Amino acid sequence: MDKSKNNYKYIIAVSSFILMAVAFSIVNSVNTILTAPVINARNFSIGEFSLLFTITAITIAICSPLVGNLLNKVNIKIIMSLSSILAGGGYMLYGLANNILSFYLIGVIVAIGMCGLTTIPISTMISDWFEPEKKGSIMGIVFAGIGTGTFFWMQIASRFLERYNYRLAYLFLGAIVVIVSLPISLFIAKRPDDVMAKLRDSNNKNNKSKDKSYTFKDISKTPSFWTFSVGLLLMGISFAGIKQHIQPYLSVLGYSISFNANIGSTLALTSLVANIVGGILFDKFKTKIVLYFMGTVSCISVVFLILAGNPVFAYLFTIFYGLTMCMSSIWPSYGVSRLFSNENYSVVFGFVNMFFILGTSVGPFLSGVIADTSFGYQASWVIYFFTTIIAYFLFIRSVKNH
């Protein structure tokens, strides 16, 4: 690798970190603290508003394979720039929405933007620019931006809600997304020249090169594909079902907005550390050992969540759950690199990521529906406890099969 490429890859890493800290954190993490104020102001039910998360997740799931394929055919700057406008501009529109249908329609716009701006293009660039032995650590550092941004923006959003209202919060945060992500997309985002040359050569030959073997039909025949993908589906259900409802659950338990914001910031800080440490663990230890550890900690965190009526257990949940959040950010992208070939990475990741996103589309809605029944949130947490066990069993099996 020449010196200029060696230097530019770190610019890519820093820029990716910033995108995760701003765009991803605001849209996917900080958005949870706005749920209760919106529900109270607009008189939506928990289940009704939770459907928004399902709609956005389904949209991302549908778009993931499409974005994965487009990244091999269209300049990444174009894809990410248009996506920046859709994600940030759409988020601002939330502040103008007056009915639940408007939220649903805007959610589709935001979801399309996020799909083309963050996880898939960022994971693809990291895979393109960095050596295999460094990918886990670099992905961990980049995705630590989620925790960094969430810690910062949670405090900003909570103060906006205390002083103003959710509408201004949406408008302000959406503008920040555009202001930060658009310049990065236009002037910094880039795939290596040698990678693009190979892709152009492949396209000119009408996909008759060996890259043709990496179609959905062919990767679905590999022994690890279905166990890995179904594991991602189940992890997506439990992860999103819990994450998107932490703040509403705490509100139901009677905690104040400031307490909820502190929980959110603590979770973000723990997640920040976990992403860095998790990436290093994946690079330094056998994947199976890391999966056993993360699975155990995940199950313990759900138990603490069930007992969160006590503030001590609420914070214990936050710490334990935060330690495992690196799985949702690192494992889907790292797992693809670990189990499948890095050639045509964006296409393979686009397909596999679809399963995880489909899971995240089910989880929030399932939690909301159960929360509206007499069983309450605790019934959801019990379901996710067993879902988590099955997911990690499948991950470990996929690694053994590989």
Q: Are 54 and 364 in contact (CB under 8 A)?
A: yes
What pLDDT digit, counting tens, does each position of 4-18 carry?
567 899 999 999 999
Is the pLDDT higher at 165 or at 12?
Answer: 12
* pLDDT recorded at residue 211: 45
Q: What percent of the chain has pLDDT over 90?
A: 45
* pLDDT recorded at residue 61: 87
Nearest to 241 by CA among 379, 82, 44, 402: 379
Q: Assign 3-state DSSP to the chain and report helix, strand, coil percentages, each to 5.
A: 85, 0, 15
Q: How far is CA 365 from the centre of its chain?
A: 17
Mean pLDDT (the chain) is 86
Lowest mean pLDDT among 223-237, 257-271, 353-367, 388-402: 257-271
Q: Tell me which residue range forms the domain holding 122.
A: 3-401
Please name the residues in contact with 249: beta carbons below 8 A apart, sequence gap of 6 or more: 305, 308, 371, 377
* pLDDT recorded at residue 209: 45
pLDDT at 206 over 60: no
Q: Evaluate the CA torsion angle 384, 59, 71, 341 in order and state its sign.
A: positive
What pLDDT digit, counting tens, does each position of 228-243 carry?
999 999 999 999 899 8
Q: Give me the number of domains the chain comprises.
A: 1
pTM equals: 0.79
Binned at pLDDT 50, 70 and 90, residue 2 comes out as low
CATH code: domain of residue 355:
1.20.1250.20
Q: Are 348 and 232 in contact (CB under 8 A)?
A: no
